[in-house]
Amino acid sequence: MKSRKGFTLVELMVVILIVGILAAVAIPLMQGRINKAKWSEANATAGTIRTAIRAYAAETSVATASGLVGNALDDGATQTALGFSATDLDGTYFSPGDYSITAVNASGIAEITVANGTKADAPTDGPYLLRVDGSWGP
């Protein structure tokens, strides 16, 4: 008598069921990680803007830098004042208009608000804020 080697249909169905359950759990977790990685672009650019404002305040005055509060970074005059060219703040998911200067404290440290990205595949769970103390979050 010949012995048959292989898996039964029930065994194969159990494996497919387990793989399906793992995929159902892993996909939402990975989506959260992807959005977090996209927001890291905004965090880095907001830090660059904050450094430029601090340098601008040191070169002019904190009062002059405070005059930038409320400006979005898609304004050519604001970009020029801070030393940015037209494409310096243009990223994969965020454009210059997504960044705005919320506040500048007495030390010349700015608070930057980043709206949801306007480019394709940008995250939509914002806005996020780079606070004066350096913390980052919604």
Q: Is residue 5 part of a domain?
A: no
Domain range for 97 is 10-137
Q: Which residues of 87-100 are buried (b: 16+ CB within 10 A; e: fewer)?
A: ebbebebbbbebbb
Q: Is residue 30 part of a domain?
A: yes
Q: Is residue 86 part of a domain?
A: yes
Q: Is residue 99 part of a domain?
A: yes
- pLDDT, tens only, 103-132: 999 989 999 999 998 898 898 888 999 999
Q: Which pLDDT band, with edges at 50, 70 and 90, does 1 fall under?
A: low
The rounded mean pLDDT for the chain is: 90
Supply the pLDDT for residue 55: 94
pTM score, whole prediction: 0.77
Quote the tokens at residue 31.
């989506």
Q: Measured in Å, how far apart are the chain's first and last C-alpha atoms?
A: 69
- Total domain count for the chain? 1
Q: Is residue 3 part of a domain?
A: no
C-alpha to C-alpha distance for 117 and 115, rounded to whole angstroms:
6
Q: Is residue 2 part of a domain?
A: no
In terms of DSSP H, where are the helices of 60-127?
62-66, 76-82
Q: Which pLDDT band, with edges at 50, 70 and 90, does 35 fall under?
A: confident
Q: Is residue 85 part of a domain?
A: yes
